[in-house]
Chains A and B, each alone.
Chain A
Amino acid sequence: MNSFIIGMESQNVQKIVIGALSLAAFAILWELLAIIVNNSFYLPRFSSVLSAFFSVIQSSFFFNDVAISLYHFIIGFAFALIIGIPIGMLMGWFPVLDKALNPIVEIFRPIPPLAWIPFAIIWLKLTHQAAGFIIFMGMVFPIIINTYSGFKNIPKIYVEAAKVLGSVSSIKLIKNVAIPAASPMILSGIKTAMGVGWMCLAASEMFGVSDSGIGYKIWFYYGIQAMDYVVVYMLILGFIGLLLDFLFRYFIQNRVLKWQKGTVV
């Protein structure tokens, strides 16, 4: 057991060392390549990105950018949950609603969320809600689909066991059996949706919904040809996406699904 743990630790150390070396090599190559290219619009230097990074995180607008982007994201997320989960549940539980709603979902699902930008502008004007709407369109379908298939695949034995114990009505069965039994699927749908929604974020802020936000800043700095700042905001976008994924996995998924043996979601 002890040697097993030591083995795990040395493996982790190895992983960190190799990862760090690889990143350092990447940064050096980048810097060299940028020196050769010698055009900060085509390829900003790593060193100038690094100094741009420090000036961004020390700036007063950085916090505002993150807050506005999270605000857009939360608008889309909240509506996707409020609308997506009930639709998925109803479709998964009632065969009639499955038949009725399935064609509609299947028509709209493959449309790329960014294709909704014109209607977002027409319906919601250039507001935060318009950005939220694009993110919503990216998030709602993974949530619907996963909730739906989670509900479709509830083992019959749990439903029957609940029935003989006196939980007979649809409402009771949905609450006591379907939702907990489907929760691993629903949560993994939400996780997927968070990834998709975050990817939609940059574009949703590029059509003029606000004058701050991470996506907006990427577009703004591109406009003034400050490509080192563009890279900084790109990296921030990626990093916060990663952080959201991590927080969701460790604080929501693992906590809710602790009854699952060896949770791998």
Chain B
Amino acid sequence: MGDLIIENLSKEFKKGSNEFLALKDINLSVKNGEFVTILGPSGCGKTTLLRIIAGLETYSSGTATLDGELITGPGPKRGMVFQEYSLFPWKTVLGNVMFGPLMQNFSKDEAEAKAMTYLNLVGLSEFKNSYPYELSGGMKQRVAIARALANEPEIILMDEPFGALDAQTRNNLQNELLRIWQEEKRTIIFVTHSVDEAVFLSDRIVILSKRPGTIKKIIEVSIPRPRDRTRPEENAIRNEVLRLLDTNENCEID
């Protein structure tokens, strides 16, 4: 379970009468339990690719399947953590995390039990009765991770979830995410434009080229965890990634 296969996938966008190719011939397979990062300069379709996997965006040709099932729309097997703060402001922390299980027709008690499990996992169970406006940015994203996990999805899609956070909080959350991933053993696909983040987190780094987005290279990161942010092994990979990104000119349009 949790095997994602993308074959010859392309995505065309229409802007008025103009059509442009956002993604071209993407081939990617992600195994169960893997941590894969998608990296590339902004406007190169990495968020589009993630949204296609989430089912929030359609694709023009090719196929995307999860465990052999064609992806045709959003579904609870694929959880998502957004870059923007996406917690429902009218629900408490607990209400937010219970939302998914309740949508899966679990009873209120079961949903609450699941929610509490994952709130404990992200260390925020004592904030269960708070409203999102009472939380810091880092706490909001931790609740968002708990909310995605509460549905017990096969795969978790993360769209620059730590992009809006300060460096210290960001590092803490990266560590925490790795801990959660190792405990939960779920597949994670993580979009970022931070090379450091990609090297620190992932099993494999998928590097997208400039538009139309194609897979330029997939780099294996076989350094055992816990990783360091400054050692030569990590630096070597970082340099390789930076070199690959450097030959891309910037993307003009986001």
Chain A residues in 8 Å Cβ range of B148: 164-165
- Stretch from B9-17, B82-90, B172-180, B228-236 contacting the other chain: B82-90
Q: Chain B 71-111, CB within 8 Å of chain A: the 1/0 string?
A: 00111101110101011111110000001100110000000
Interface presence of B55 (CB below 8 A): yes
Q: Say yes or no for A211: interface residue by CB 8 A criterion.
A: no
Summed over the interface, the residue pairs from A and B with CB atoms below 8 Å come to a total of 73
Chain B CB count within 10 A is highest, among A158, A166, A180, A258, for A166
- Residues of A within 8 Å of B133, CB to CB, are 259-261
Question: For the complex, what is the distance from the CA of A165 to the CA of B76, rounded to whole Å?
Answer: 5
A180-193 vs B, Cβ < 8 Å mask (1 yes, 0 no): 11010000000000
A interface, over-half SS = helix
Mark A131-174 against chain B: 1 for CB-CB distance below 8 A, else 0.
00000000000000000000000000110111111111000100
User: How far, in angstroms, from A158 to B99 measured CA to CA in the complex?
Assistant: 12
B151-A165 in contact (CB<8A): yes
Most buried by A among B87, B88, B89, B99: B88
CA distance A261 to B100 in the complex (A): 25
Out of A166, A181, A258, name the residue touching B103 (CB < 8 Å).
Answer: A166
Kindly identify which residue among B75, B99, B104, B131 contacts A162, using a CB–CB cutoff of 8 Å. B99
Whether the pair B56, A160 counts as a contact (CB closer than 8 A) is yes
Cross-chain contact A164 with B79 (CB below 8 angstroms) = yes
Answer yes or no: A194 CB below 8 A from chain B CBs.
Answer: no
Note all chain B residues with C-beta closer than 8 A to A166.
74-76, 100, 103-104, 151
Q: Smallest CB–CB gap between A227 and chain B, Å?
A: 50
Chain A nearest CB, measured from B131 CB (Å): 5
Q: Tell me the complex Cα distance, A39–B67, Å.
A: 91
A232 interfacial by beta-carbon distance below 8 Å: no
Cross-chain contact A164 with B78 (CB below 8 angstroms): yes
Expressed in whole angstroms, the Cα–Cα distance for A4 and B57 within the complex equals 52
B147 at interface, CB cutoff 8 A: yes
A201 adjacent to chain B (CB < 8 Å): no
Give Cα distance in the complex from A163 to B103, angstroms: 10
Task: Find out whether the CB atom of A163 lies under 8 angstroms from the CB atom of B89.
Answer: no
Contacts A/B (CB < 8 Å), 8 sampled: A157-B86, A160-B56, A161-B82, A161-B88, A163-B56, A165-B147, A168-B73, A180-B91
> Which 9 A-B residue pairings sit nearest by Cβ, starting from the closest?
A166-B103, A166-B76, A165-B100, A180-B90, A261-B133, A161-B86, A163-B74, A164-B80, A259-B90
